[in-house]
């Protein structure tokens, strides 16, 4: 995450299974990450992938910020391209983070 917010905050969890089509995918993801991190209310972003499976989590200060991000023109285009070309399936979950715990080894 780019900053460590104190709970409560929201997490948008995007789990996906990709197709073999990579045409423009990396560039679009980089652009979405850049735009998303600059969007009002975005607190950070984490992502992992293995093979054709991926999980990305973005963190938001409130539901209004999430709704606003979902309507950004470039994001709408990326969503459409994802359905048409890049994803076999995906699920988006929105969760309220009320508490968090962490460990960091020295």
Name 42's Cβ contacts closer than 8 Å, sequence gap at least 6: 36, 58, 59, 60, 65, 69
Domain boundaries, the chain: 9-97
Report phi then psi at 51, rounded to 5. Answer: 65, -125
Give pLDDT, residue 9: 97
- What local confidence, expressed as pLDDT, does residue 3 receive? 56
| Topology at the third CATH level for domain 9-97 | Alpha-Beta Plaits (3.30.70)
pLDDT along the chain (106 residues), means of 10: 77 97 94 96 95 96 97 95 96 97 91
Q: How many Cβ atoms from other residues are within 10 Å of residue 93's Cβ?
A: 10
pLDDT of residue 5: 75
């Amino acid at each position: 995450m780019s900053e460590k917010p104190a709970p409560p905050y929201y997490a948008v969890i995007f789990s996906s299974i990709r197709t073999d089509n990579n045409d423009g995918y990396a560039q679009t993801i980089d652009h979405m990450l850049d735009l998303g991190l600059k969007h009002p209310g975005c607190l950070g972003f984490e992502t992992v992938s293995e093979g054709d499976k991926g999980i990305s989590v973005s963190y938001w200060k409130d539901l209004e910020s999430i709704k606003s991000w979902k309507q950004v023109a470039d994001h709408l285009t990326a969503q459409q391209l994802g359905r048409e070309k890049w994803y076999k399936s995906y699920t988006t979950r929105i969760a309220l983070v009320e508490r968090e715990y962490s460990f960091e080894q020295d």
